[in-house]
């Protein structure tokens, strides 16, 4: 996969050199042309096409920012409301993630989302302890994390 990325970057730089303009737009056009060329030649590489992982990373970033946006407004609503109607608590979340990289990414994404903080990770049992500002239903919160962050992390890392 690293070879495909380097090849794509070289194609983008050659595209810029052929046009004798070193602008960001020419680099992006060259990168997209290189992406199409690497995609066309994907069967000659021993690794799978890296564009799939690249798309999964973009989806993970968009997912994070959408969750960040939604939860920020939720926390803002709690701050502005005259009467707090929240149920703070600690959620015991059982994860299917294995590697340290996946667990670190999950803990970072959960902690950076307002209203939730990952407290501890038990490596032996794959259990994460998450403090949330409002837990109405533990199953719903667990399924939400599993269907958003954990699924997107699996797409990127596997």
pLDDT at 152: 95
Structure tokens at 38: 């690497």
Is pTM, for the whole model, over 0.75?
yes
pLDDT at 84: 85
Report the pLDDT value the prediction gives residue 124, as an integer from 0 to 100: 80
State the angle between helix axes of 51-80 and 24-40 in degrees (0 to 180), rounded to the nearest 10: 120
What's the per-residue H, E or C state across the chain? CHHHHHHHHHHHHHHHHHHCCCCHHHHHHHHHHHHHHHHHCHHHCCCCCCHHHHHHHHHHHHHHHHHHHHHHHHHHHHHHCCCCCCCCEEEEEECCCCCHHHHHHHHHHHHHCCCEEEEEEECCCCEEEEEECCCCCHHHHHHHHHHHHHHHHHHHHC
Phi, psi of 123 (to 5 degrees): -70, -35
pLDDT for the residue 75: 87
**Domain spans of the chain, in order of start:** 2-44, 56-157
**Rounded Cα gap, residues 56 and 154, in angstroms:** 9
Quote the pLDDT of residue 99: 87
Contact 22, 115 (CB under 8 A): no
| Tokens linked to 8 | 């794509």
Q: What is the pLDDT of residue 134?
A: 87
- Per-residue pLDDT for the chain (158 aa), expressed as one digit of tens each? 789 999 999 999 999 999 887 899 999 999 999 999 999 999 999 989 999 999 999 999 999 999 889 888 988 888 898 888 888 999 999 999 988 899 999 999 999 888 899 999 987 878 999 999 988 889 998 999 999 999 999 999 88
pLDDT value at residue 60 = 94
What would the two tokens of residue 47 be? 């690794």
């Amino acid at each position: 996969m690293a070879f495909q990325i380097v090849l794509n970057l070289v194609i983008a730089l050659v595209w810029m050199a052929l046009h004798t303009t070193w602008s960001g737009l020419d680099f992006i056009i060259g990168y997209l042309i290189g992406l199409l060329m690497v995609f066309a030649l994907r069967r000659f590489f021993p690794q799978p096409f890296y564009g799939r992982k690249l798309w999964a990373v973009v989806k993970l970033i968009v997912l994070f920012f959408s969750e960040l946006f939604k939860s920020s407004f939720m926390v803002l609503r709690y701050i502005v409301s005259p009467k707090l109607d929240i149920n703070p608590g600690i959620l015991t979340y059982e994860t299917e993630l294995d590697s340290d990289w996946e667990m670190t990414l999950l803990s970072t994404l959960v902690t950076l989302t307002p209203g939730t903080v990952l407290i501890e990770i038990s490596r032996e049992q794959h259990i994460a302890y998450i403090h949330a500002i409002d837990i109405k239903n533990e199953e719903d919160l667990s399924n939400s994390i599993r269907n958003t962050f954990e699924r997107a992390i699996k797409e990127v890392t596997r």
